[in-house]
Chains A and B, each alone.
Chain A
Amino acid sequence: MPNDVTLAERRATLLHAAARVGRNVTSILDPDLLLEQTVDIICDEFGFYYAGVFLIDESGEWAVLRAGRGEAGADMIAAGHKLKVDGHSMIGAATGQRQARIALDVGEEPVHFKNPYLPDTRSEMALPLIVGDEVIGALTVQSVEEAAFSEDDITSLQAMADQLAIAIRNAQLLHELEAAHAELVRTKTFEALATSTLAAIHWIGNKALPISASVELLRDDLGSLVEVDPDLVTSMLEDLETIEDSARLIVSVQEHLIGPAREEKPRAAMVDDVLKDTATAMGIPARMISYTVAPDLPLVVADTTQLSRAFEYVLKNALEAMEGSDEPHIGVDVAPAEDDRFVAVRIADTGPGIPEEDIEKIWAAFYTTKGATHAGLGLSACYQILKQADGQISAANAPQGGAVFEMQIPVFDGRLLPRELPVGRSVLLIDDDDAWSRFVKGMLVDAGSSVTLSRDSQIDLDAFDLILVDNAPEEADIRAVLERVRAAGAGDRTLVVASSLRVERTMELMPFGVRDVVLKPYASGALAELFDLVARET
């Protein structure tokens, strides 16, 4: 039992150490850094063997170890160490009953210290972390000395724990505030721009059009002046290039603003099919991209044209990031997300990754790290498209290098009204043997129609009531296919099906005399509508 003088001295020492800890921790504003450094500061100031901070999780049921001294702490965090709030552990008791707990190894109760990560502990104190009325977690401090703590020490150490609790809460609030602010910046900046009226977009397009046309005319004129002053002409051609680049940027801004502002037409869709079609339409060589698609993937709900646009932005971003790379490769992984209301699409590249300081900023409109030739709207538009679809997108760097974009797209949870498909029809499907063509073939055959799957149109087209041509076949040349369709006079019974409808592509294919260019069906109802479409009088 300590005498009165040493008791007073000890208390003063502890209070001083508590004050120093308080001063140090309140100046750290990053929540992760704060927790990490706090345990070291406490151990150094008080000479403890170990200190650890537990925070109560969202469910309020568990106190989860968030920081721990040294290797033992790191190992326990990696193992997901957590203790039940109000359970039998000291942390459980401290968080449940809002009171400090002490356990001392005086030879009577060695059972307290059976943690294999901390074999030398002989005394432990658990202190609740309280802000106002709320317990946010608990602090454990441990010593290698037997009977290292007394009831008198509680006051000094609890004072430190209280300051620590406030510091943690402040850092959390600041972090939340920053996150909310960043969210506000990305959505509000974009919304303000995207809701610009269509008239404004028309205006931008009209103003940009004469710039590039005039540059073209001037370039022609300069060609005839080369002999007069070659140096001057070279310099002027360079200036013209600058003007032309700027005009091109303005046009691309216009496109990016129109894109996400379009009206949404969500429908059930096979997300892997939309993604593959997008990559094929972009001309990404098969050797540069690989897909891992989970079996029995549920349908998602999204406007597939918009979704394809979002995929295109991410893929384009990946291609640009890998420019100059020796072995450029895009790895796509499609699987149910951890939250089973979503399907997760991960697109990983072998580029240099995203600088950590930019990882939150990339979603803001007009933010770009690619220099003045980029408007910085692609990923921002992507973010907006996913948000409109009630999904989300995030970016990270893979441990092995390269950036990974993860998009979560809502699972289609509505009921698809099954529609009866026509019986006894003969359908030609010009497509690769992929998930979509197998799906269509399966449904039509089940309904009693016959289906021929062909990679090209080198067969007698007269035999078919309906010809469906995939807009983005990996192998077939769609123009050659449509030429044959036209030559055989089968255009009226032919539909080009695309997972996304783009004006240039549609305008390119319609003149082949096909009945229409339409969205790909991913359900029986949408498939039945295609029969209605070709049956309709022209």
Chain B
Amino acid sequence: MEAARILLVDDERLVRRSMEKTLLRAGFDVDTAENARAGLALFKEALDDNEDGPFDLAILDLNMPNLEGVGDSNAGLQLMSKLLEIDRDLPVIVLTAFDEVERAKNALKTGARAYFVKGREAELLEIVNDILSE
């Protein structure tokens, strides 16, 4: 079976790299971007990628530069709505340091499949595997 393709968007270089390595070792095919705009561009490119195909799942930081390139605590939600416009079945995991229940509920209600609080990476793999096996 071909490895699932994951789009990971986060503006923190070290976070991005360590999560990328965790996912790569778990056998996923990972592409990364450092802001919402670059993430959207990657996602669109992948749609026409005959070799690797489109993304199976997206992991998005909430607080990063938005599509206009401005730091925004809801940039992840903005990007998510764009991605869902293109592929309404895309599973999205929202990633942030803010342990805020209303934000989390809001993310779920606007289409995210799961909300992940940074700092608990063992759980991240579990969430990713659960979602992809559905």
On A, residues with C-beta under 8 Å from B are 198, 201-202, 204-210, 212-214, 216-217, 220, 251, 254-255, 258, 262, 305, 501-504, 506-507, 510-511, 516-517
Assess whether B108 is in contact with A206, with CB atoms less than 8 Å apart: no
Assess whether A506 is in contact with B63, with CB atoms less than 8 Å apart: no
Cα–Cα distance between A510 and B12 once the two chains are bound (Å): 29
Question: Chain A nearest CB: distance from B32 CB in Å?
Answer: 13
Which residues of B in the span 77-134 have a Cβ within 8 Å of any Cβ on A?
A: 96-101, 104-105, 108, 113-115, 117-119, 121-122
Assess whether A216 is in contact with B12, with CB atoms less than 8 Å apart: no
Question: Chain B nearest CB: distance from A453 CB in Å?
Answer: 27
**Cβ of A510: which chain B residues have Cβ within 8 Å of it?**
105, 108
Q: How many A-B contacts if CB must be within 8 Å?
A: 82
Cα–Cα distance between A216 and B14 once the two chains are bound (Å): 15
Question: Chain B nearest CB: distance from A163 CB in Å?
Answer: 59
**Cβ of B14: which chain A residues have Cβ within 8 Å of it?**
206-207, 209-210
Cα–Cα distance between A223 and B100 once the two chains are bound (Å): 37
Cα–Cα distance between A254 and B119 once the two chains are bound (Å): 10
Question: Chain B nearest CB: distance from A124 CB in Å?
Answer: 67
Q: How large is the interface on B (under 10, 10 to 19, 20 to 34, 35 or more residues)?
A: 20 to 34
Assess whether A251 is in contact with B99, with CB atoms less than 8 Å apart: no
A interface: dominant SS = helix
Assess whether A507 is in contact with B121, with CB atoms less than 8 Å apart: no
Assess whether A507 is in contact with B115, with CB atoms less than 8 Å apart: yes
Question: Chain A nearest CB: distance from B126 CB in Å?
Answer: 12
Assess whether B114 is in contact with A201, with CB atoms less than 8 Å apart: no
On B, residues with C-beta under 8 Å from A are 12, 14-15, 17-19, 21-22, 25, 63, 73, 96-101, 104-105, 108, 113-115, 117-119, 121-122
Assess whether A209 is in contact with B121, with CB atoms less than 8 Å apart: yes
Per a CB cutoff under 8 Å, which of B15, B96, B98, B117 touches A504? B117
Assess whether B119 is in contact with A506, with CB atoms less than 8 Å apart: no
A203 nearest in chain B by CB position: B97
Assess whether A212 is in contact with B121, with CB atoms less than 8 Å apart: yes
Cα–Cα distance between A208 and B121 once the two chains are bound (Å): 11
Per a CB cutoff under 8 Å, which of B17, B101, B104, B119 touches A205? B119
Are A216 and B121 also in contact (CB < 8 A) when A258-B98, A503-B104 are?
Answer: yes
A252 nearest in chain B by CB position: B119
Are A213 and B108 also in contact (CB < 8 A) when A254-B97, A507-B114 are?
Answer: no
**Cβ of A255: which chain B residues have Cβ within 8 Å of it?**
99
A498 nearest in chain B by CB position: B101
Question: Chain B nearest CB: distance from A222 CB in Å?
Answer: 14
29 residue pairs of the A-B complex, CB under 8 angstroms, read: A198-B98, A201-B98, A202-B98, A204-B97, A205-B97, A205-B119, A206-B12, A208-B118, A208-B119, A209-B12, A209-B14, A209-B19, A210-B15, A212-B121, A213-B18, A213-B21, A216-B121, A217-B18, A217-B22, A503-B99, A503-B101, A503-B104, A503-B115, A506-B101, A506-B104, A507-B114, A511-B113, A511-B114, A517-B105
Question: Chain A nearest CB: distance from B21 CB in Å?
Answer: 6
Are A210 and B101 also in contact (CB < 8 A) when A205-B118, A503-B115, A504-B117 are?
Answer: no
Q: Among B114, B119, B121, find the residue whose CB has the most chain A CB atoms closer than 10 A.
A: B119
Question: Chain A nearest CB: distance from B33 CB in Å?
Answer: 16
User: Nearest 8 pairs between A and B by C-beta?
Assistant: A205-B97, A210-B18, A213-B18, A251-B119, A210-B14, A501-B101, A209-B118, A213-B121
Cα–Cα distance between A63 and B79 once the two chains are bound (Å): 72
Question: Chain A nearest CB: distance from B66 CB in Å?
Answer: 15
B108 nearest in chain A by CB position: A510
Question: Chain A nearest CB: distance from B104 CB in Å?
Answer: 5
Assess whether B97 is in contact with A214, with CB atoms less than 8 Å apart: no
Question: Chain B nearest CB: distance from A495 CB in Å?
Answer: 13
Q: Among A254, A258, A504, find the residue whose CB has the most chain B CB atoms closer than 10 A.
A: A504
